[in-house]
């Protein structure tokens, strides 16, 4: 797996929450990208099965999908760094 970091502006997080990105729980890996709707601004940046490993350098691998969603809602107007584990280059 490859470690990728994205700086997430409020627009990015809005897209993460409302524009076709769905997060699912996994067993032992952490919350993963489950679905990316065609035409989403995140298409080509995030990929299905990418693991959301950290938000603002806080390890989220033990978080549930619901906890990640809450973090995004709580910081919707802030820029943040989202770190994902991905098999994509």
pTM of the model: 0.72
Over residues 30-70, the pLDDT tens digits come to 888 888 888 877 788 888 889 988 988 999 999 988 898 88
Return the C-alpha torsion angle 14, 68, 65, 43, nearest 10.
40
Position 20 confidence tier, pLDDT thresholds 50, 70, 90: low
Contact 43, 22 (CB under 8 A): no
Helix (H) / strand (E) element for 24: namely strand 21-24
Helix (H) / strand (E) element for 11: namely helix 10-18
Instruction: Using the predicted structure, report yes or no on whether residue 23 has a pLDDT greater than 50.
Output: yes
* Six-digit token string for 32: 């993963």
Q: What does the alpha-carbon distance between residue 25 and residue 27 come to, in Å, rounded to a whole number?
A: 7
Q: Which of 51, 41, 54 is nearest to 13 (CA)?
A: 41
Instruction: Using the predicted structure, report yes or no on whether residue 4 has a pLDDT greater than 50.
Output: yes
All domains of the chain, ordered by start, with CATH?
A: 2-86 (2.30.42.10)
């Amino acid at each position: 797996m490859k470690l990728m970091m994205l700086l997430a502006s409020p627009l990015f997080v809005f897209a993460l929450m409302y524009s076709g990105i769905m997060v699912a729980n996994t067993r032992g890996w952490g919350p993963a990208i489950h679905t990316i709707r065609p035409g989403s601004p995140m298409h080509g940046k995030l990929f299905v099965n990418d693991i959301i490993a950290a938000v603002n350098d806080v390890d989220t691998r033990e978080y549930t999908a619901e906890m990640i969603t809450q973090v995004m809602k709580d910081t919707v107007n802030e820029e943040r760094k989202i770190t994902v584990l991905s098999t994509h280059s």
